[in-house]
Structure 1
Amino acid sequence: MPKATKKKKEKVEDFKLKLGKGKKQASNATDTSFKARCLTLDDVLIQMRHVNAGVRKESLNHLREVLQAGVRLGINFGDRHGEVSKVVRAIGGMVTDDALHGFIEWYIARLPRTTLVPYLPLLELQIASALSHIYPAVRLDACKVVEILLDTHPAEVIGSWPAPSVSSSVAGSGSGSTIFEGLRLAAGLGGEKGASTQGGFRLTAGSKLVILRAIRTFIAKALEPLLAAPELSHPEPKLGEFTLQKLEVLSAAGPWSLGEYDWATQWEEPDTSSAGDIASPEALNEISRTYLSLHSLLVATFMEAAPSAFSVSSTATTDQVALDLCSVCVDLVTVCARALLGQADFASLDSAKELRSAFSEFLKRMAAYFPFGRGEGAASAASDAVFGMSLNYAKLAVALAPVPPAIAPQPVWKRRVRAIDTAWRGVSNKSDPALAAAADWVASCLEPSTDALAPQLSPTSYAELLPVVRSLLLRPSTAELGTQFVHAVLRQQSASAKRRASDAFLASLFHTHEDRWGTLPFFVPLGSGLRAGFAKWLQSVPKTLWELGNKDQEATEQLLRFLLDLGRRAPNGLEKPYSLVEAGELEGLAAKLAPFFWVAQRSMLGPWGRLDDGTQRLALDVARVWAPMDERLGAAVAEAVESRPWATEYWARS
């Protein structure tokens, strides 16, 4: 072809391309087009076995997307055929992947409990295998997974531990012992009393923290029934967690009746019939062996970490790992001590003397740093952890302090006081430095802070402090704390959560003191500052009721029920000079209750008209008991009931 003709033809083709026609593909061009399809669950699970950690991490993200896409289509978690079984098998082989921990928390929390439970033994078997792995990193990752499962499914992970299994054929009956033995091996404990199984490998501070935290969570979850049960070896109703239960005993349909209301047990922990076999001698011996095997490790860890965690230098920065290590060690010791020392048959245990000595040794180690966080760096970095350790020190000091035996019920006050004096005289009069230090620390917590920028005691922390206050008030050597406590209560706002807990606490203390048929050796000495403080608190109750109004009707009902019971005791039930309340004080208290019932015709509207019907009925029952003590109260109530047709009929029943 002539050159001119060829150039002319190429120019025409180039002109056609400019008009939008595509260039013709060469005959040897490679086809790079592809077709996409949706990934299925099986496709993603295959990638979770990949040798590359990055691929496995991406497969977890894809798995989450597949499961979420199913939810958008109406397929709930666990509804796919074989989904849970396949996922559990797949994640069991990824225990060492950090990305797996977040996925387990996300997935297990969304599965129905009944759906996951049948497959947990398989996952526990894989975790137990990882806990005994030759590489320490694998064991640490397994500990993290155990802690996650303890938060979501504690009963299945713990199994029957520490009680012996009834039958090994029961599903999961021995899983708790297997998992816990793996945790002990991961901590380097084997055999008896801390025999090392690390084979020369030394755990770092971070590794110890992971393992001890898992052990702490396991033991605390397993011993919850024991910690909630009444501590039978102490005459007090409860020296452990202070639970403020709602008072939902009476019906609002008719007159309120407190004739059979048991104030003595209202402030105890709930019934714990679930304690079952873990309070058996075999279970207690297992707990004893467990703690004795951990004791040397806990002491060594605490002594290594404490200097860094509680530096007295104001310029030192807080070592968070060291602080967490100290906190975990203290928690472990306190949980085991409360579970064991609170048992009635603790003295009959083979290792009772050794256990008490071990707990006392750890308490002495803690005493050098108590109260914790005295350095500015430690106090500002983690005040919650510091407060928790100081609180556990006080609990441990109270649990180790000697207690008198229960007294026989004495309906006559003079005999009861004599029996209480005799019971406490039989207890060692030797001063207890740990108990005195705990009382001083509690007093410092109750005092108002002079530093406006200092963190205030939260309502949760205050409620945790109340059981220790109760235990200290029951002891003659630390009873002077009561004056400071009542002054702290009177400084609190009426509608605050702290004041509500304090009012419930003082009402409980009053009924414990006035119960002449009780076996608790508790009596407030004549002339004690606590008596004067209690009288001030009692006179402040009408003001608290006025300020509460309908802001917190449960707190209002709580105080009204206390006044109803107190009014029914008067005057014969308040024997002078032994009772905390003198009959002569009740007339002044009744006069202060009159404004509570003021209606709109007055210059100020009282809170009674703003309450619901049930609480109004309760208030009328209180007025029925207290009105004979003051005419102004009776007149105010008579005027108030005229505004409510049902109230007129209700009040006329008296």
Structure 2
Amino acid sequence: MPPATKRKKEKEADFKKAKLKLGKGKKVPTNATNTSFKARSIALPGQQPLERAAIQQDPSSNFASTSAGAEPLTSSGLDLDEVLIRLRHPNAGVRRDSLGGVKEILKIRSGVEVGRVMRALGGMVADDDASVRKGLLGLLDWYFSITPEASYSSIKTVSLVPHLPLFLLLTSSALSHIFPEIRLDAARLVSLLLQHVPRHITAGWPASAPSASGEAGATSTSGSTILEGLRLALGLGGDKASSAQGRLTAGGKLVFLKAVLAFVTQALEGGSDSAATESMWEGWLDEGNSASNKGAVLEVSEHGLAFDGTNEGWVVESGSWAVNTAATSGWELGRLDAGGSTAESGENGSGTMNLFVQLHPLLLSTFLESAPSAFSPTSTSAPTAASTETHIELCVVTATLTSVLAKHIITAAAPASEKDTGIVRARISDFLKRLSPYFPFSGASLTTGSSALSAGMELNLAYARLAALLAPQPVPLAYGQNATERRKDTAWKARVRSVEASWATVRAETDRRKGKGKGRAVDGWAMAEVAAWLTDILTPSQDMLSPPITTSTFSALLPIMWTLITQPPPPSSTEEDEENIPEMVGTALLAFIARQNASSALRGLGDDFVIRLVRTHEQSYPTLPFFIHMSSKLRAAVRGWIDGVPKALWDIGARDERATERLLRWLLDMGMRGAGGGAEEGCSLLDVKTYPSISARLAPFFHLAHPTRGSTMGPWTKLPEGRVRRLGLDVAAVWGEWDTEGRLGEAVKLAQAGIQ
């Protein structure tokens, strides 16, 4: 055989299939690899955590983790050190899963290694993976809300607070990150922190002094640093600002503006819903100078009223009702603030003013860009619904942020300069002119919102607050210094003369701003629109589908109505077509209160408003001007409310103890004046001539002699034994002065006998 043919057959031998013969098996290959080996064990990475997890899940195991002092583990058997190491893993999925492991450990023991946990989580604020950052926000939201801040638990005051400065530094650094997605998530983190630890986020702004709380970790620059980062991210820092602001989408701009609004609201108003309601009384009502301290003729002893407390009851907190009769001989000018201001030293308003000036162009342009889409008739269609909701929220945020900043500048304890106030008022007026074509805001797309108020109501409230800020500021009263004039006039006549002089000054300033042209004053059109809107929503609607006024809405409306009611009414010589805004709003409000159920929350808010309104009107030494003219319809409405207090007490009964106590204290305050105690005919809202009828109508509150049902115990007997029941006896004792027919005294005796 030739050599070439032989070599060819040798090469093909490995691929040649041998033919099998009948009855013979297949030959074993000579080149096969032997795989018959055994191994004692296989080493796998992470085997120890798996063993710990298996032992921990075994209920029959005596593993040390079942003891109270053992180190907490995850369901995979990882301890805290191993979980924190995995937070720095190059794989995003491992980092995201490790966040769940941190939560597992913190659920077992929330106070474990808080410093290490906060440092590790702070390093992930600028993580380059979106899913990791989303998981971090969820974990932090849960971690900060484990214990409410109001309880001042050990987590909040001992463990967590010392580590917040470093965490805030990392957050502010993320606000200036090169990637816009990381900046957006950092803004979301700021909003989250403002919900749980607001005092440490806003510390140092707008003033440069340390926080009033004095707590550890509340640095004096954290607020300025965070706000500076938000400002730069919005492109408001000049050369230092991010150039990406112009490329922000509507959703991204909304995230940043929401964070700025939450920051400013917490820093200036403390984030309290009742802050605006309580601030409306500042400067108007001196709680220490109530109606009961004006010329009372009742003898008040050191230990209470001059009647037998054993039989009639006890005077609740009688020390606060002490009457200084010597004070009625003249005006206490020393108690009055000549400047009408309660300025606190050291407050710095320049930070708020600078922020307002920088934000105004952005807020105005954002509203102008969003309004056409937000209020378009076709905005409710499915393809544009999501985009419309974003534009509506942008309109709400811009209007609300403008009103919060402007209110603080104009009504701050340390008044801004006249130049700054003029700038703010001009920009408010400019903003209102852009909003006015859409006011009042209503429509199907505005019926929902992120808070207790709908989006349309939030926009209406923001518009009304801005219009109220343009109202003329009240001029403090200046009482006559002539001794002969003081002796000649009564206290009420001198007060009315001072009020009229103050109103004349306000009208002159308004005319000066108005210029030579006639018509409504500058920006007065906005107040008139708000007054008409308030009257419309307080009036019963014939539309059954119109939404009712909620408690949240009514609470937000009260400060606006207070501003309008306390404005100077038009003079008697004015044109007939000029609206009397105080009378129009006040009568609509009193009619709305009268229609409410006596035990409803709306009636309670309204009663408290009217009580404070009357007390402001009846002060002996008021600081700011307020007076309801004798011919005003509002005076008749207020007197009608006063006459209806006994009926309201009967209707409320024991169903709402707080509301009953409010009205009883009001009656006690009225009765402590005594006969002729400062209630001058035609001037005071409290007509003493009607006191006997009120006293007679108070009798059924204790006991009622029904013509058909016979003797019936009144609501007073159903009150729980305590301060409110004793307060009712005090009211009966004080109003006994006008009980000419003896009905009230007899009713009290029968009621006391019935509960014994």
Distance (Å, rounded) in 1 between the aligned partners of 2:393 and 2:637: 39
Q: Identity of counterpart residues, as a percentage?
A: 39
Q: Which stretch of structure 1 is more off in the superposition, 303-312 or 224-233?
A: 224-233
Q: Does 1:452 find its partner at 2:521?
A: no
Q: Given that residues 356 and 406 in structure 2 are in contact (C-alpha distance below 8 angstroms), is that contact kept between their aligned partners in structure 1? A: no
Distance (Å, rounded) in 2 between the aligned partners of 1:399 and 1:425: 20
In structure 1, what is the equivalent of residue 733 of structure 2?
Answer: 624
Q: Which stretch of structure 1 is more off in the superposition, 465-474 or 313-322?
A: 313-322
In our comparison, the structure showing a higher alpha carbon Rg is: 2
**Which amino acid in the other structure matches residue 102 of structure 2?**
L
**Which amino acid in the other structure matches residue 207 of structure 1?**
G
Q: Out of 682, 696, 703, which is 1:577 matched to?
A: 682
In structure 2, what is the equivalent of residue 434 of structure 1?
Answer: 526
In structure 2, what is the equivalent of residue 638 of structure 1?
Answer: 749
In structure 1, what is the equivalent of residue 334 of structure 2?
Answer: none
Q: Given that residues 91 and 100 in structure 1 are in contact (C-alpha distance below 8 angstroms), is that contact kept between their aligned partners in structure 2? A: yes
Distance (Å, rounded) in 2 between the aligned partners of 1:602 and 1:84: 73
In structure 2, list runs of 5 or more residues that go unmatched. 1-21, 26-34, 53-76, 147-154, 287-303, 325-341, 481-489, 512-519, 570-579
In structure 2, what is the equivalent of residue 461 of structure 1?
Answer: 553
In structure 1, what is the equivalent of residue 362 of structure 2?
Answer: 297
In structure 1, what is the equivalent of residue 220 of structure 2?
Answer: 173
Q: Does 1:596 find its partner at 2:656?
A: no
In structure 2, what is the equivalent of residue 211 of structure 1?
Answer: 256
Q: Out of 118, 126, 134, which is 2:170 matched to?
A: 126
Q: Does 1:364 find its partner at 2:400?
A: no
What's the CA shift string for 1:386-429, capped at 9, x where partnerless? 21221122122112211231113586212221221221122225
How big is the alpha-carbon RMSD for the aligned residues of Structure 1 and Structure 2? Answer: 3.5
- How does 1:167-566 map onto structure 2 within 5 Å? 172-191=219-238, 197-198=242-243, 201-224=246-269, 236-237=284-285, 254-256=314-316, 257=318, 259-260=321-322, 280=347, 283-312=348-377, 319-343=388-412, 345-348=414-417, 351-373=420-442, 375-379=443-447, 384-408=454-478, 412-427=491-506, 428=510, 430-431=520-521, 432-475=524-567, 476=569, 477-480=580-583, 481-566=585-670
Change (3 A) 1:397 1:495: same
Q: Given that residues 617 and 627 in structure 2 are in contact (C-alpha distance below 8 angstroms), is that contact kept between their aligned partners in structure 1? A: yes
Q: Does 1:608 find its partner at 2:716?
A: yes
Q: Given that residues 235 and 521 in structure 1 are in contact (C-alpha distance below 8 angstroms), is that contact kept between their aligned partners in structure 2? A: no
Distance (Å, rounded) in 1 between the aligned partners of 2:589 and 2:280: 27
* Post-superposition offset of 1:30: 11
Change (3 A) 1:81 1:612: closer
Distance (Å, rounded) in 2 between the aligned partners of 1:350 and 1:581: 43
**Which amino acid in the other structure matches residue 607 of structure 2?**
D
Change (3 A) 1:436 1:417: same
Q: Given that residues 298 and 329 in structure 1 are in contact (C-alpha distance below 8 angstroms), is that contact kept between their aligned partners in structure 2? A: yes
What's the CA shift string for 1:572-593, capped at 9, x where partnerless? 1221111113222222211111
Change (3 A) 1:31 1:93: farther
**Which amino acid in the other structure matches residue 586 of structure 1?**
Y
In structure 1, what is the equivalent of residue 11 of structure 2?
Answer: none
Q: Given that residues 646 and 698 in structure 2 are in contact (C-alpha distance below 8 angstroms), is that contact kept between their aligned partners in structure 1? A: yes
What's the CA shift string for 1:308-363, capped at 9, x where partnerless? 22235696675110111111111111111111100365352663332222222112
1:642 is paired with a residue whose SS is helix
* Post-superposition offset of 1:237: 4.8
Distance (Å, rounded) in 2 between the aligned partners of 1:365 and 1:302: 8
Q: Out of 99, 110, 113, which is 1:77 matched to?
A: 110
Distance (Å, rounded) in 2 between the aligned partners of 1:390 and 1:536: 30
1:207 is paired with a residue whose SS is helix
Q: Given that residues 352 and 405 in structure 2 are in contact (C-alpha distance below 8 angstroms), is that contact kept between their aligned partners in structure 1? A: yes
Per the normalisation by structure 2, the TM-score is: 0.72
In structure 2, what is the equivalent of residue 144 of structure 1?
Answer: 188
In structure 1, list runs of 5 or more residues that go unmatched. 7-24, 239-249, 263-273, 646-654
Distance (Å, rounded) in 1 between the aligned partners of 2:368 and 2:126: 37
**Which amino acid in the other structure matches residue 146 of structure 1?**
V
Q: Given that residues 407 and 521 in structure 1 are in contact (C-alpha distance below 8 angstroms), is that contact kept between their aligned partners in structure 2? A: yes
Distance (Å, rounded) in 1 between the aligned partners of 2:735 and 2:547: 42
Distance (Å, rounded) in 1 between the aligned partners of 2:454 and 2:601: 18
1:584 is paired with a residue whose SS is helix
**Which amino acid in the other structure matches residue 111 of structure 2?**
G
Q: Does 1:51 find its partner at 2:90?
A: yes
What's the CA shift string for 1:207-256, capped at 9, x where partnerless? 00000111111111111269959879985459xxxxxxxxxxx9999413
Change (3 A) 1:149 1:292: same
Change (3 A) 1:129 1:314: closer
Distance (Å, rounded) in 2 between the aligned partners of 1:380 and 1:154: 27
2:549 is paired with a residue whose SS is coil
